[in-house]
Structure 1
């Protein structure tokens, strides 16, 4: 069905220029955008992947077709955080490609940014169909800026200019001839309004907040265009959207135990502070050989975890192993086995807590780290602790906690921990009472999902944003 649709489309446009690429080309492009955390959400990451893969293919084709005396200058990849499309500048001419995975290409839609931002305007716009799973790319038509502005239908909601496929020039050879022989094909457009530095900074703050989508529809277009057109402002917005995200998946894969700035193992976090003695004692492992009775107890607890079907007994056994705190490989392997096989969430977390007491830097099945928030919250020294565990269903189990550190034995009453989903909607809120040592929330999420944690006390608030 999928292949037939592609064939049907290509047959309808016999003049489409068709390319095939290798699985290695596809995987290389995907790894380049996915593994380097260059984009803040799944939508931007996929947009970047399609554009990078298309850019690689089209730039190679242009170099082969044209007798270039000047280099091809590509648009900055930071643009893919905000909009679909890639520009190629060759001398005084500019080309924009708009990749799409659509099978039934009844029309060609171009984001307004490429049409109405003077610095982004091109002479020619190429309609590109790319199907990564089929290793295929087609250039199926093109138009000019003059045509888009005068004949294109403007959609004020989606902010696009569109032409029906019948209104495009389908002979791609004509594009090469026009590019070499014709003058610039740009309509005169109005300049964008000037916005002040203060206004730009305000928009940058607003648009730096976590979102699961491209943020181009969140403000007035002309303000948005002025922001994108300024390289320094666009780069600042791009970087701000990235630095707010803490990638938990990289914590789990971190063999060398190097983490985002400020995040430490609990052992390191609380050793550096004057945390109450009880907390440190219950989170301390020992290499000292236990006596015979304790060794017998350890053996019985291990056997119970491996052989009993009662989840409650397994949880109690895992907790006791943590209290014993003896650092032994068989105990570590048993706790890892329990984390990987249990279907009960509380048992999983109990086993993980015991594992991290015995082997604080163990990240085989998960990791737990904390950050000292210092005196930032109404003068109280607090720590935010985040744990993540792999689950057998491919999801991740997440734990977020707020702890008092240094001389404070309890959390200040009224300390509020809010967990928000990737749209900014609150899905959990916990408020400390008198004599609370910790407040926490456990939940599950899919890889690539985002969440935020806000800690509030009085008029003070600190937030951290994460991606699973």
Structure 2
């Protein structure tokens, strides 16, 4: 055992720490052809790694004579890992699901709903496993039961996961083995899933097998999805179709010049559609989210003076953000935001003025445009997604200012350390790159990472977001 792992074991003796060798890491890495997208390859890698390590540890250290079996079978695992995170193992009548995460700071244990709400998939126990391939170790943080997940877990309707705080897990696995021997009731009631006809299954198969860079698990309602996934033949057909269509598509150019004409690509949404709305300053009552015209005019009249240069820059920036929401179509707001563009002392204020002006008066020659796109780097396996935000602002010399930003979509969440945002040339040469930092405890400390640059018309560039050897790349042209 390495010195670092010995230290970890001393600090957390109740938890189970497992060491893996570089050779094991290399042998576990799936081939490009086994899965249809990068996140699935990362999912397969971490799940295969923890499965092998857990089985070896169980056989050598648990003192239990029974034999572990993979559920439903070793051959069926790729069809699961293509779609969802987690690995089930069977020990007699007891089922245990291993849920890996590469998060550095695990505060929350998230279990995909498939492992909880599909009757034939549901387990007795769920183990949270932290994976650190770079440091060659795994940590079993603790376990919980199906009953506790259903009764005390927080259900995320967007990502379809059940979650518990790490403090709610039981760290000592010996407690699990003892409870198992007593045959305690560990499962809650599960609502039966509807039956699917062959025609329904074929329609779902056609819809879900379309080539994509993310899992299709959220494309249809859970009842249909769960019934489909529960059928091993349909699940296998879905896997085979997806990898058959996994030929890398030609990169699609995002034309930023068209954004100034309010023409946006389908996957690019408004920031308000992706992020939970936040009240910048308490101008409007939360009990009246849709004020009438008179109330809006009064609010606008009270906020515009906050843009004056004698106010603090933060207040001016916040006021500009609010005006972008309530001042659509207002001539006075358009004039005030244009003035702010020219008098702002801070670059952040100038960007906010341009963005709000784009909402208030889209045809204004100085108006900016902003859109965001959800990206999946395997982070959703850890419980939260991130978004790439692109903002463009015209300049008087014909060039365009571009502001790139990556941030989590959940409030009060930090980026994981090591996440990178890179600007590349058309020939894939790295021009600039920023990386999310960590604090003294190795935890994330950045709410976002960003790059700002200017370029001329017809310039091509690429943006790359990377984390844990999984990357997302988008191509742009001005």
TM-superposed deviation, 1:14? 3.5
1:29 aligned onto 2:28:
yes
Maintained 8 Å contact 1:9/1:103: no
Give the deviation of 1:180 after TM superposition: 3.4
Displacement after TM superposition at 1:171 (Å): 1.5
Aligned to 2:155: 154
Report the Cα offset of residue 214 of structure 1: 1.3
- The number of aligned residues is 259
Give how far 1:34 is off.
Answer: 2.2
Aligned partner of 1:40 among 26, 36, 41: 36
Q: Which moved more, 1:184-193 or 1:129-138?
A: 184-193
CA distance, structure 1, for counterparts of residue 471 and residue 142 of structure 2: 35
Deviation of 1:170 after TM superposition, in Å, equals 1.4
> How far did 1:10 drift?
6.6
In structure 2, the residue matched to 1:202 is 203
Cα distance 1:22–1:239, how it changes in 2: closer, same or farther (>3 A)? same
The residue correspondences of 1:246-285 to structure 2 (distance < 5 A) are: 246=247
Q: Aligned residue for 1:49? A: 45
Cα distance between partner residues in 1 of 2:108 and 2:176: 19
* CA displacement at 1:85 relative to structure 2: 0.4
- Specify the alignment match of 1:72 in structure 2: 69
State the secondary structure of the residue aligned to 1:215: coil
**2:56 maps to what in 1?**
60
Quote the residue 2:232 is aligned against.
231
Counterparts of 1:418-437 in structure 2 under 5 Å? Answer: none
SS of structure 2 residue aligned to 1:206 = helix
Contact 1:192 1:222 survives alignment (8 Å): yes
After TM superposition, give the deviation of residue 185 of structure 1 in Å. 1.5
User: Matches of 2:167 and 2:246 in 1, distance apart?
Assistant: 44
TM-score (norm 1): 0.50
Q: What are the superposed Cα offsets for residues 267-307 of structure 1, whole Å, 9 maximum, x if unpaired?
A: xxxxxxxxxxxxxxxxxxxxxxxxxxxxxxxxxxxxxxxxx
Given that 1:13 and 1:170 are in contact with CA atoms closer than 8 Å, whether structure 2 keeps it comes out as no
- How far did 1:23 drift? 0.1
The alpha-carbon distance between structure 1 residues 206 and 18, as it changes in their structure 2 partners (threshold 3 A), is same
Match of 1:355 in 2: none
- Cα-to-partner distance string for 1:229-270 (whole Å, 9 max, x where unaligned): 00111011111101112369xxxxxxxxxxxxxxxxxxxxxx
CA gap of 1:203–1:450, structure 2 versus 1, over 3 A, is farther
Note the C-alpha offset of 1:50: 0.5
Contact kept in structure 2, 1:20 and 1:136, CA below 8 Å? yes
**RMSD across aligned C-alpha pairs, in angstroms?**
3.3
- Say if 1:12 and 1:112 are closer, same or farther in 2 by CA, change over 3 A: farther
Q: Deviations over 1:394-453 (max 9, x none)?
A: 9xxxxxxxxxxxxxxxxxxxxxxxxxxxxxxxxxxxxxxxxxxxxxxxx999998899xx
| Distance in 1, Cα, partners of 2:164 & 2:93 | 25
Classify the secondary structure of the residue corresponding to 1:98: strand
- Given that 1:95 and 1:126 are in contact with CA atoms closer than 8 Å, whether structure 2 keeps it comes out as yes
Deviations 1:126-168 (A, max 9, x none): 0100011110100011000011111111111111111111111
SS for the counterpart of 2:188 is: coil
Consecutive unaligned residues of structure 2, counting only runs of 5 or more, are 250-426, 431-460, 465-469
Residue 185 (1) aligns with residue 181 (2):
no
Distance 1:22-1:159 versus aligned 2 partners, 3 A rule: same
Separation (CA, whole Å) in 1 of partners of 2:121 and 2:31? 26
Q: Extract unaligned runs of 5+ from structure 1.
A: 249-390, 395-442, 452-468
Return the offset for 1:196: 1.2
| Mapped contact 1:9–1:104 kept (Cα < 8 A) | no
Query: Which aligned pairs between 1:310-321 and structure 2 lie closer than 5 A?
Result: none
Q: Is the 8 A contact 2:55 2:68 kept in 1?
A: no
> Partner residue of 1:298?
none
Deviation at 1:69, TM superposition (A): 3.9
Structure-1 separation of matches of 2:9 and 2:150: 28
Q: Does 1:222 align with 2:223?
A: yes
Residue 444 to residue 168, structure 1, CA distance change in 2 (3 Å): closer
In structure 1, the residue matched to 2:378 is none
**Whole-Å separation in 2 of the counterparts to 1:139 and 1:126:** 7
Q: Which 10-residue stretch deviates more, 163-172 or 226-235?
A: 163-172
Q: Does 1:19 align with 2:18?
A: yes
Alignment correspondent of 1:240:
241
Cα distance between partner residues in 2 of 1:393 and 1:240: 34
Whether the aligned pair in 2 keeps the contact of 1:51 and 1:85 (CA below 8 Å) is yes
Q: How many angstroms does 1:42 deviate by?
A: 0.3
Shift of 1:12: 6.5
